[in-house]
Structure 1
Amino acid sequence: MTEPEIVERVNSFLAEEFEVDASVITPAGSLKETLDLDSLDYVDLVVVIESNFGFKVKGEDFVGIKTFQDFYNYVSAKLNNN
């Protein structure tokens, strides 16, 4: 899967799952602030990632993820390592 495909897929399911307009999701944007995530939302996010991409996610994986670009890079790295 190419990076543009990852970005499109991630933005699509995030906009749907967290009920935000896809136009507010930008690479430099804050994942937590843009999606208004709380601790339970992170659990939902893990489930959505696993169901959309088929790899397991650990809570500690989110420690370094601050922006959407960080998130895209994380998904890309996980997909390329499998």
Structure 2
Amino acid sequence: MNEDEILARIRDIFQDNFGIEPSKVTPEAHLYEDLDLDSIDAVDLAIKLQEMTGRRIKPEEFKTVRTVGDVIGAVESLLAA
């Protein structure tokens, strides 16, 4: 799965679970400031990414995620593991 495919899947997750327009979900978008996610949403997002990749996300790794680009990087590292 390449970066564009990951971004497309992430956009689907944001639209389906958080009601966020896919056009707002860009690599530069900040999860909390731009997309109005809260800590509960972040947990839900981590669960959806685990389902998407079939791999467990370590909480300490996900704490550093701040932007959609960070989410893409986290998914890439999970898929590479």
Residues 30-49 of structure 1: matches in 2 within 5 Å? 30-49=30-49
Aligned-partner Cα distance in 1 for 2:34–2:12: 14
Which structure carries more helix by proportion? Answer: 1
5+ long unaligned stretches in structure 1: none
Structure 1 length normalisation: TM-score?
A: 0.85
Structure 2 length normalisation: TM-score?
A: 0.86
Q: Does 1:57 align with 2:50?
A: no
Aligned-partner Cα distance in 2 for 1:52–1:15: 15
Residues 15-34 of structure 1: matches in 2 within 5 Å? 15-34=15-34
5+ long unaligned stretches in structure 2: none
Shift of 1:52: 1.6
1:53-73 Cα offsets, whole Å, 9 max, x none, are 211012212222111111101
Residue type of the partner of 1:6? I
